[in-house]
A = this chain, B = another copy of it.
Amino acid sequence: MENEPLLMLPGPVPMPERVRYAMARQAINHRGAEFGRIYADCVRVLRSAFGTSHDLFVLSGSGTAAMEAAVANFGKGKKIACLVNGKFSERLLKIAQRYGDAVPVASPWGTPLDLRGLAKALEGGAGMVTMVHNETSVGLKNPAADVGRLCQKHDALFVMDGITSIGGDVVEADSWGVDVAVVGSQKCLAAPAGLSAVSVSSRAWEELVTPAPYYLDLAAYRKSAGNTPMETPYTPAVPLFLALREACLILEEEGLPARVARHVRMASSVRAAAAAWGLPLFPKVDGMHAYSNTATAITVPDGVADADLRSRIRRLGIEVAGGQDQLKGKIFRIGTMGAISAPEILATLAAVQCTLTALGHRPAGDGVAAAYEVLAG
């Protein structure tokens, strides 16, 4: 009997046992006092991970639902400048197109954001800006504080997808000037997939446009969150709340700085391995942009078929991700999120290194040893 595959993906990610077993409870009444306390625990911890003192709600839907809630409630009818440099920012552009006059401010996938283009769009009257903080599709971290400054200068609402950064990397939504930030449950929070959370600044509330889609109506969420006991407007996904609460308590126990340091150390070790192998990282970074600390995108070497590489690794019980859409076959991606640390990283890097060799590619050097130096350092 083998274990479940080790998911070294940019989500979903391995969950602690405490989180998983929290779901096995019998059904509870979601209009009762206990559910209210569970929801309140989630909000308390998530506020600290978002770096916000604003309103914060947990939605029973994926990060996509929360991003749509952000755009639909506060961007409808607006000119929306959508910063695009990867798959998830493209999805956000598609959402914005359903609600407003969406203006793509695009640069090639994996390259720095076009901040000059953004300034132009803001001068042209954009009232909302959307950005993906951590683009796992390309392994790039975008400069949220800089985008926030531009938005504030032009009095535009700043919507930030922090789905794969919040809870795993430094996020300071309030001091960066983020009006609406979003996280997904199944990424750095190491909870199961199916929930998302969204924070809303008072400036955003002033620009509330009604009616939003009924299921994503944040004014309804605000009203229900104000009830005693605290509740959600529609039936919540109760087992997922139980799991998220447990994941939040674990985050509090680990401590946010230690959690961030663990993610940085894990991603640094993967980057050290890639450097030792002589395999370039896919994204182009500059002084403002940085490599993601939760997903590393590595170029597939010439002569190796990505599908072979990943299927052989999968046979060992480890799943790493391929490239998406235009990057299919060109990159592979290693997630460094969730209930993992040195053992999982070492196993994954050893599997990649040996598989590359087995497929006839000779890595330039010993990536596993290079990662060990970082992890043990």
Contacts and interface: CB of A to CB of B under 8 A. Distances in A.
Interface of A: 3-5, 7, 9, 11-15, 20-21, 23-30, 32, 60-65, 68, 72, 94-95, 98, 184, 186, 192-195, 211, 213-216, 234-240, 243, 319, 338
A14 B20 CA distance: 19
30 contacts: A4-B27, A4-B28, A7-B27, A12-B28, A12-B30, A12-B235, A14-B26, A15-B26, A15-B27, A20-B239, A21-B24, A23-B239, A27-B338, A62-B234, A62-B237, A63-B235, A64-B215, A68-B214, A68-B215, A98-B214, A186-B235, A192-B237, A193-B235, A193-B237, A193-B238, A193-B239, A194-B237, A213-B216, A239-B239, A239-B243
Nearest to A23: B23
Contacts of A338: 27
A23 B213 CA distance: 30
Contacts of A3: 26
The 6 A-B pairs with the shortest beta carbon distances in the complex, nearest first, are: A194-B237, A23-B23, A4-B26, A12-B27, A62-B235, A64-B234
A194 B193 contact: no
A240 B243 CA distance: 12
Nearest to A163: B235
Contacts of A239: 20, 23, 192-194, 239-240, 243
A234 to B, nearest CB: 4
Contacts of A192: 23, 27, 237-239
A214 B11 CA distance: 21
A63 to B, nearest CB: 7
Contact of A65 (B20, B61, B63, B94): B61
A27 B65 contact: no
B193 A27 contact: yes
Given A27-B192, A60-B237, 8 more contacts: A9-B29, A12-B235, A14-B27, A20-B239, A30-B193, A194-B236, A213-B215, A213-B216
A12 B9 CA distance: 33
Contact of A60 (B7, B32, B194, B211): B194
Contacts of A193: 27, 30, 235-239
Nearest to A94: B214
A68 to B, nearest CB: 5
B62 A236 contact: yes
A66 to B, nearest CB: 9
Contacts of A238: 12, 186, 192-194
